[in-house]
A and B are shown apart, each in its own frame.
Chain A
Amino acid sequence: MKLTKVFLASTALAFAAGAVAAEDMTIVSWGGAYSESQQKAYHEPYMAKTGVNIINDESSNEAVAKLRAMNEAGNVTWDVVDVVAADAMRLCDEGLAMEIDPDTQLAPAPDGTSAADDFGDLLVSDCFIPQIVYSTTFGYRTDMVGDNPPDDICDVFDLETYPGKRSLEKRPINNVEWALICDGVPADEVYDVLETPEGQDRALAKLDTIKDQVIWWSAGADTPQLLADGEVVMGSTYNGRLFSLIVEQGQPVDMLWDYQVFDLDGWIIPAGLSEERKKRALDYIYFATDTQRLADQAKYISYGPARKSSAPLVGKHEELGIEMAPHMPTDPANSKTAVLYNFEFWADYRDDLDAKFQAWLAK
C-alpha cells in the first residue's frame, strides 16, 4: 500500500538524518553579513581541514534564554555559541558556559606570545574567547546635513543644526552615556554621575530634549534601513552595518565616529557537552581564534580582530579590494574618543536603569 511506503521512507529518512548528526557541529551566531564572514574565514577552512559538517544557527540574540532552557531540558544541542561579552559573563556566572584556559586551550601568537597576553585585557570572562571588537556608533545622511556634516556626538542632540528624526537603540546602554557627555559631564566622570539617581534623571532629561524626534531600534538592521529610506538623518548602529551600507551598498551615508562605544563579541562553549563534542568544540575554537583566522575575518566585515598580533595582518576587502584598516573602529583616526563598554557598571545597574528607561519611554 502506498501510504505505508511513504511512512517507511520518512522514518528511514529521519534515522538517516540522525546517523549523519554524529559528524555535525552546530555553531550559533548572529546571521546576516556577520555569519557570512565567519562562514568564509572560519567554517569553510575548518570543514575542509577536518571533514566536520558545520550547521549555522542564527540564534545568538536569544542565546542566554535558549541555553537556560536547554540546560533545564538536559539537552544541549549547540556546540559553539557566539555571544557578546556581557552575555558570556552571565552564562559563565550561571555555570552554563565552560571555562577556558587560554594558555593551554588557545593558540599562541606566531611569535610565541601566549594567547593570554595576545588577547590581553579583552579576556573579560573565564569562559569567553574574544573574537572581534565592534563599536556602536552613528551614521548620517550626507545629503540631508547640507555642507556642515556632524563630527561631534552632541550633534545628535542638536535639533536646530540637524533637524529630522534620529534612530537610537531601545535601551539605556550607550544612550545615557552620550546624553551625559553632551550635558557637560566630562567623559571620565560619566559613570560616577550615572551611579546616582539624580545623574540618571539628568541623562533622561537630556534625552527628553530629542525624544519626539527619535525612532527606537532593536535590531541592528533597522538603522541601515531607516538611513537608506531617508527616514532618519542620523542613527546609531553597529559599525559593520554602516560599513556595508556605505561601502557595499553605496548609500549617501557617512560615519560619525565620535564617542563610539567598543564592545566585544566572541565564543563560548556551553557547559555539559559530551566528551567527544567538547573535544571537537575546543578543537574548532583553537583553530578559529588563531592570529591568521581572526585577521582573515576582517577581509569580509569591518570589525577589528581581538588579538594584538592580528592587527598587522588585516588586509584588503575580499571583493572590493579596498584597504580595511581605515574602516576599522580600532583605527587610530577613528578611535580618538572611543570608550570601552563598561562591563562592571552595567552588570550592577542594568536592571535598574532598564526599568527606569522603559518607564521614561512609556511616558
Chain B
Amino acid sequence: MAALTPISRKPVSFYVPVVAVAGAIAGLFIGTAQGSGLLGAVAGAAVLAILAFAMTQFVDNEKPMRWALLALFVLGGGLLGGPAGLVLGLGFGWFFGWFIYWLYEGRYRAKLVPYLTPMQVLWHYAFRVICGAILVFLITPILVVMPLSFNAEDFFTFTPEMLRFDPAGYSLKHYRDFFTNDDWQNALRNSVMIAPVATLLSVSFGTLAAIGLSAEHVPFRRAIMAILISPMIVPLIISAAGMYFFYSRIGLQGTYFGVVLAHAALGIPFVIITVTATLVGFDRSLTRASANMGADPVTTFFKVQMPLILPGVISGGLFAFITSFDEVVVVLFVGSAGQKTLPWQMFTGLREQISPTILAVATILVVISIGLLTTVEMLRRRSERLRGMSPG
C-alpha cells in the first residue's frame, strides 16, 4: 500500500519518551532474568532514551546509525550473555534501530488515513501490540518445549552448553528413545488404532443425528440435542467415572472397543454442532428435486447432501479426532494398561519420571497437528477455488 499521509519529523518530546518506555519493557525482561527487574527497567529506559536522542539529534544519517546501534547491542549482548546474548542483542538492536527512526521520521502515520486523531493512531498500534502479546503468551510455552526436546541431558533444563549453542549440548536421544522404547511405541500404536475408529463412529453417528435433528417433524428436538451435546458440558471426570462403572458391568471396561466407544461419545457433540451449522445453509428443495428424479434417500444423501455439507463433516471429524487423540481422563478410567494411549503415557511419564522424551513427543505432535491443519485448510481453499466461491 502506498503512503496515504504525508509524513514529517516529530519533536524530541514525543519519540524519546516512547522509545524510553519500549526500552523499559525490554529492560524489565532482561533485568528479571538477571535478578532485578526494576533496575533493568530503569536502566533500559535511560539507555534507550539517551541513544534515541543522540542518534537523531547529533547525526543526520539513518543507515550508518542503525548499523552502529546493531553493532553496539550485539557486542553488549555478547559480552554480557555469551552466544545467547549475542542473538538477543541482534534482535533488540535491529528492532530499536527501526523503532527509533520509525517514530522520529513519523513513518508510523504513513500508511494510515490522514484524518485519524492521535488517539486513534495510538489505539491502532496498541491494538496490534495487545494482539501480538496475547499470541506470544499463547505460543511461548510451545516454543520453549521445542528446543528443550533436543536437550542432551535427562532434565527439563536449558544447560549452559545449550545456551552457548554448543553442539554437544544438543542431541536427538529423546527422539531415539521415543522411536525405540516399547512403552512409547505401544502407546503410539494404541492412539493410532483408537482415534481413527472413534472418529469414524463420531462422524457417522454425529452426521446422522444432525440431519435427523434438523428435520422439522422430529419431536423433542431440543431435548434430544441437549442430551447428545451433554458430554461436552458435563465435567469430563463425571462422564469418566460414570462410564467406568457402566462399562465394568457390561464387560466393556478395559477393552479396546470400550475406549473407542467412550471416545466416540465424546466426539459426537463436535460433529453434531459443526454439521448442524452447515445444514442451516443447505437448501431442502435439493433433496426433493433429487427424489423427483428417482433417487432413493440413501442415494440422495451420498450424491447430493453429503458433498454439500462435507466441510462441516470434515471439521467436526477433525475435532473428534483431536478429542480422542488428546484425551487422558476417560481413557484412564475406561482403558486398562493394554489400551495405554499417548496422552496417558505422557501423563504417567510426567509424574513418575520428568523425562524430555515427553517434550520430543510433544514436538512431534505439534508438528503433525500443524501439518494436519495446514492440509485441511489448503484442501478447503482448493475446493472453494474450484467451486468458484473465492477469488484467490
Q: Which residues of A contact B (CB under 8 A)?
A: 3, 6, 10-11, 13-14, 17-18, 21, 24, 26, 28, 30-33, 55-59, 61, 69-70, 72-75, 77, 219-222, 224-225, 228-229, 249
12 additional A-B residue pairs with CB within 8 Å, beyond A55-B336, A58-B348: A11-B257, A26-B336, A31-B351, A56-B337, A58-B352, A72-B245, A73-B245, A74-B248, A77-B254, A225-B354, A229-B155, A249-B153
Question: Is A221's CB under 8 angstroms from B352's CB?
Answer: yes
Question: Is B200's CB under 8 angstroms from A3's CB?
Answer: yes
Q: Cβ of B260: which chain A residues have Cβ within 8 Å of it?
A: 10, 14
Query: Provided the pairs A32-B353, A77-B254, A225-B354 are in contact, do residues A55 and B338 lie with their beta carbons within 8 angstroms?
Result: yes
Of all chain A residues, the one with the shortest Cβ separation from B345 is A58
Minimum Cβ distance to chain B for residue A33 (Å): 7
Of all chain B residues, the one with the shortest Cβ separation from A72 is B245
B375 at interface (Cβ–Cβ under 8 A)?
no
Give how many B residues have a beta carbon under 8 Å from the other chain's beta carbons.
Answer: 30
**Which B168-197 residues sit within 8 Å CB-CB of chain A?**
183, 193, 197
Q: Cβ of B336: which chain A residues have Cβ within 8 Å of it?
A: 26, 55, 57, 77
Minimum Cβ distance to chain A for residue B289 (Å): 25
Q: Cβ of A32: which chain B residues have Cβ within 8 Å of it?
A: 352-353
Minimum Cβ distance to chain A for residue B268 (Å): 16
Q: Cβ of B257: which chain A residues have Cβ within 8 Å of it?
A: 10-11, 14
A13 to B258, CA, bound (A): 12
Of all chain A residues, the one with the shortest Cβ separation from B254 is A77
Secondary structure call for the B interface = helix
Total number of A-B contacts with CB less than 8 angstroms? 89
Minimum Cβ distance to chain A for residue B351 (Å): 5
B290 at interface (Cβ–Cβ under 8 A)?
no
Query: Provided the pairs A33-B353, A61-B351, A228-B157 are in contact, do residues A26 and B253 lie with their beta carbons within 8 angstroms?
Result: no
B326 at interface (Cβ–Cβ under 8 A)?
no
Question: Is A73's CB under 8 angstroms from B353's CB?
Answer: no
B128 at interface (Cβ–Cβ under 8 A)?
no
Query: Provided the pairs A6-B197, A18-B255 are in contact, do residues A73 and B352 lie with their beta carbons within 8 angstroms?
Result: no
A70 to B156, CA, bound (A): 36
A21 to B191, CA, bound (A): 19
A58 to B257, CA, bound (A): 22
Minimum Cβ distance to chain B for residue A248 (Å): 8
Question: Is A222's CB under 8 angstroms from B354's CB?
Answer: yes
Question: Is A31's CB under 8 angstroms from B337's CB?
Answer: no
Q: Cβ of A11: which chain B residues have Cβ within 8 Å of it?
A: 257
Q: Cβ of B73: which chain A residues have Cβ within 8 Å of it?
A: none
Minimum Cβ distance to chain B for residue A230 (Å): 8
B15 at interface (Cβ–Cβ under 8 A)?
no
Identify 22 residue pairs between A and B in the complex whose beta-carbon atoms are under 8 Å apart, listed by A's number: A3-B204, A14-B257, A14-B260, A31-B348, A31-B353, A33-B353, A56-B183, A57-B336, A57-B340, A58-B348, A59-B337, A59-B348, A69-B244, A77-B253, A77-B254, A220-B352, A221-B353, A222-B354, A224-B354, A225-B157, A249-B153, A249-B155
